[in-house]
Each structure stands twice: as structure tokens, then as C-alpha cells.
Structure 1
Amino acid sequence: MQLLLNSIQHQNDQKAFKQLYQLFFFKLYQFAYSYTRSKESSEELVNDVFLNIWQKRDTLDSIQNINLYLYVSVKNASLNYLRRNSLPVPVSVDDLHADHFQITADPESALISRELQGQVAAAIEQLPSRCKLIFKLVKQDGLSYKEVADLLGISTKTVDSQLCLALKKLAHLLHPVNSW
């Protein structure tokens, strides 16, 4: 990731920027949508965040965690959008669909069949909205408990308890699946 950011900053590498964009766009779009409930506005907000990064690419070395920076930027842009449009801030991510979220590829998940991945995604969709959001940010997007707590304005203890609850519910929902 650091090589990608260095290429963008020091070489004005548009291909590296496009790669960064493609790597994060859909996750950030889904995150923005959980606030705005508008496909067009969410897409525009995420594009604005990336445009801002490109315009200020000479300062990229000051960003210690690009993942967290992008999420916080999209959250702030979404909240500003809601303030400008006087819309209430929604807290549910129930409108997000499990098929938009992929389980991260690691050696274990490479062994899991598509059918099992579909069952896991369906189980994730059955989680309460807060558990679902925290689960996705920690387990799928790789944010730390502290980063999620800061992003959502909650304590790390709340993140921990919500994640424990999510994992217990998933284990219960997937118990018949795990009998291989």
C-alpha cells in the first residue's frame, strides 16, 4: 500500500491512483450509502474524497493509515451532505446487500466453497444493523477496534461487545453448516 501511495505522491502515477480507487471505491460507497441512503450522492461523495486525495497528493506521506483516513473522510463528507440537505442520520445498514461484500481472501477462505460463502453472507445479513456494521468494518475491512470506535463515535468496549455478539449470532446461525 505504501508503494502505491509513494507512486501517487512522488511520480503523479495515475495508474497507481486508479488502483487505489478500485481497491477502496465499493467499500467506501457502501459506507457512504449507510449514511445517505442515496446511490448517486454516495457515489459523488466518494468520488469527491478521491478527487481531494489526488489534488493533495503531495501531502500523502502525512497520512499514517490510508484505510482509516478514507473512511473518516467519507463519514465526514456524508455527515456534511446530510447537514446540507437536512436529512436525519440513519443508523441502519439493512439496505445493504450481502452479495456486495466479499469475504476476504486468505488461505482458509480459499478452501471454502461458494455455497458456504453464500450462507455466511446470508447469516451476516441477519445480524442487527449495528453488529453488522461493526463486523464488516473489523472483519472485512480490517479496521482496528480503536479505529472503528473513533469512526462511529463509540467506545472500544462497545465495539468489542458488539463484535462478540455478532460472532455468537453467526456461530449459532452457521452451526449446521460447520458440521463438515
Structure 2
Amino acid sequence: MQQLLYRIQFANDETAFEELYRAQAFRLFQFAFAFVRSKETAEEIVNDVFLKLWQNRGRIDQIKNLSVYLYVAVKNTASNYLRKKVTTDELAVDHFYLSPDPESMLVTTELRKKIAQSIDTLPPRCKLIFKLVKEDGLSATEVAEILDISYKTVTTQLTIALKKLEELLRPSLQEYKIRV
């Protein structure tokens, strides 16, 4: 990643920038969509953030953690959009994708559907934190920084999400003889 950022900053390497965009854009799109609930607007927000990054590429080395920087920039851009929007919709995360791994590939389609439905029942903030930690692989500290909340709030929300999911999924998991 550092080599990629070096090429962007010091060589104005558009290919390296496109590579960075391809690696980060989809997760940032999902994050933006959680706020604005519009595919086009979420895409526009992500593109605006990357455009600003390209325009300010000479200062990339001043960014401590690029992933956190991009999430915060998307959150701020989405917040600005929502402030300007006349009607305010309830913020919710409608898109949650379970990342495939060998274990989840063995789980039946029915169980995956129950998992997705259970995740969908989480309160919006709890669901967003769960997604950022479990799907996007961010640490609790990074999520706290991105959402501008305390580390303790993140860990509490994550604990609530896991307990609720365990409670909701216990009957299904026992049916499939998966130990909780």
C-alpha cells in the first residue's frame, strides 16, 4: 500500500490511483449508501472523495491511516449531503454482504438467509458498527475514529449485536448442529 501511495504522490501515477480506487471504492460505496440510501448519491460521494484525494495527492504522506481517512471523508461528505437534503430519511444499512470463506460456503442458503435477516433486525447504528468491524475488517479503534464516537461505544454496540445475533440464530444453529 505504501508503495502505491508513494507512486500516487510523487510520480502522479494514475494507474496506481486507479488501483487504489478499485481496492477501496466498493466498501466505501456500501458505507456511503448506509447514510444516503441512494445508489447514485453514494457513488457520487465516493467519487468526490477520491477526486479530492487526487487533487491533494501532494499531501498523501501526511495521512496516518488512509483507510480511516477515506471512511471519515465519506462520512463527512454524506453528512453534508444529508444536511442539504430537504427531507431526512431514517439512516439504515440496507446492504450487508457476508464475505465468503470456506466455513460459510458450507452453510446452507436457508441458514445464510436467516443470518442476513437477523443482521437486518439490528438497530441501524449497531448494524453499521457490526458491518464495519466484521465485514470491512476495521478495528474498533478505527470505527470509533470514523464515526466520531468512543471506543467503548463501539465495543458495547458490537457486544449488543453479537448477543442479539446469537439469541436470534441459536435455534437455527442448533438445527444445523453448529455449536454457538
Q: Give the TM-score band, short-chain normalised.
A: 0.7 to 0.9
> Which stretch shows the higher mean deviation, 37-46 or 121-130?
121-130
> Which stretch shows the higher mean deviation, 141-150 or 52-61?
141-150
Aligned residues: percent identity? Answer: 49
Matches within 5 A, 1:69-84: 69-84=69-84
CA distance in 2 between counterparts of 1:16 and 1:133 reads: 30
One-letter identity of the residue aligned with 2:95: H
Taking a change above 3 Å as real, the CA distance of residues 129 and 25 of structure 1, as seen in their structure-2 partners, is: same
CA distance in 2 between counterparts of 1:102 and 1:15 reads: 30
CA distance in 1 between counterparts of 2:64 and 2:78 reads: 22
Give the structure 1 partner of residue 4 of structure 2: 4
Is contact 1:9–1:59 with CA below 8 Å preserved after alignment? yes
| Residue-pair matches, total | 172
Aligned residues: CA RMSD? 2.3
CA distance in 1 between counterparts of 2:67 and 2:22 reads: 13
* 1:162 counterpart = 2:154: no
CA distance in 2 between counterparts of 1:116 and 1:3 reads: 41
> Which stretch shows the higher mean deviation, 29-38 or 81-90?
81-90
What TM-score do the two structures reach when normalised by structure 2? 0.81
One-letter identity of the residue aligned with 1:97: H
Matches within 5 A, 1:1-180: 1-88=1-88, 90-93=90-93, 96-98=94-96, 101-103=97-99, 109-113=101-105, 115=107, 118-119=112-113, 120-175=115-170, 176-177=172-173, 179-180=177-178
Shift of 1:89: 6.5
Q: Secondary structure at the match of 2:53?
A: helix
One-letter identity of the residue aligned with 2:126: C
Unaligned 5+ runs, structure 2: none
Shift of 1:77: 0.8
Taking a change above 3 Å as real, the CA distance of residues 59 and 133 of structure 1, as seen in their structure-2 partners, is: same
What TM-score do the two structures reach when normalised by structure 1? 0.81
